Amino acid sequence: MTVAFVLGGGGVRGAVHVGMLQALFEAQVRPDLVVGTSIGAINGAAVAADPSLAVVDRLTEAWSSTTANEVYGEAWYRQLGRLARSRTHLYDPQALRRLIVGTLGERTTFEDLQVPLVVAAASIEHASEHWFDSGPLVEAVLASASVPGALPPTEIAGEHFVDGGMVNSIPLGEAVRRGATTVYVLQVGRVEEPLTVPTKPSDVARVSFEIARRHRYFRELEDARGVATVHVLPSGGSLPGDDKIGAFRRLEATRRRIEQSYAAGSAYLAGLGDRP
C-alpha cells in the first residue's frame, strides 16, 4: 500500500492543513508520497521534510509568525507603488521566500526530504502544468505559490511559472498516477461550499474560477476512486468573510481554522473504524 497526502491550494485557508495533519499523525497515518499545490506545496514540503507530529508545531509557528503576516500585509500605498513600477504584481515575493526558507531551509533539495514530494506549478511558456520533484526546493515551492497579480512569476532555468492552482488546484490525479493506492485529500473547504449565480462583478471571476478548478477535481476524484481508496478530509467549515475578495490576506483566523479542521478531521478518521 502506498499512502499519499494531497494538499490543495487556497491561500490563508491552507491553515486547515495543519489541523488535518495533526489528526492524521495522531491516528498513526504517515505518507509515502506528498503532492501539493500553492499553499499546499509549502505545507506539503514541510511534511515531506518531517513526516511526524512535530511538523504540526513547526507549521503552526510559521503560520503565526510576523513573516507570514508580511506576505500580504503591506500597506495599500506600497502595493499600488509596486504595481505602478512592475505593471504586473502588488506584493514583494521576498516575504514569501523568507517564509519558505524559514520553514524548509535555504539549501534544501527534494532529495533531502524524508518522503518524496511533488509540487505543481503553471508554466507560462508551455501553457501547461509542470511537476517539480527534484533539485532545489525553495524555488519550486515559490513557483507553485506565485499567485498571478499578487506576485511575479518565478523564473527557473529560463522558464516562468505561476501558481499551480491555475492548472491543478487539488492534485489528486497526480498522486494516483505516481502509484498511490490510498489517498488522503487535504482540501481547504471551498469544494464543500455550494456555488450561486454571481450578483456583483467580484463574484464573476470567483465563481468562474471555482467552476474550472472543481470540474477537474471532481473528475479526478471519480477516476481515482476506481483504482484507489480516497479519503477527503473535512475542513470544519468556512469562516465569516471568507467569500470576500480580500479574504486571502486574513491571517487573524489561523488558529481557529486549525482547531476546526483538527476536530473535523479527527472525527472523520475515528469514524473510519466503524465502517465495513
User: Among the options 144, 163, 169, 266, which is catalytic?
Assistant: 163
DSSP state of 108: -
Is-catalytic flag, 163? yes
- Element (H or E) spanning 177, and its range? helix 172-177
CA angle (179, 182, 188) in 5-degree steps = 105
Q: Dump strand ranges (E) for 38-158.
A: 117-123, 128-132, 154-156
Q: What's the CA gap between 101 and 95, in Å, rounded?
A: 10
> Could you give phi then psi for residue 242, rounded to 5 degrees?
-65, -20
**Which residue reads 499567485 in cell numbers?**
147
Q: What type of residue sits at position 217?
A: Y
Q: Are 25 and 53 in contact (CB under 8 A)?
A: yes
The set of cell numbers assigned to 194 is 455550494
Q: What's the CA gap between 262 and 207, in Å, rounded?
A: 28
**Which residue reads 465502517 in cell numbers?**
275
| 138 three-class SS | helix
CA angle (123, 124, 128) in 5-degree steps = 45
Q: Which residues are catalytic?
A: 38, 163
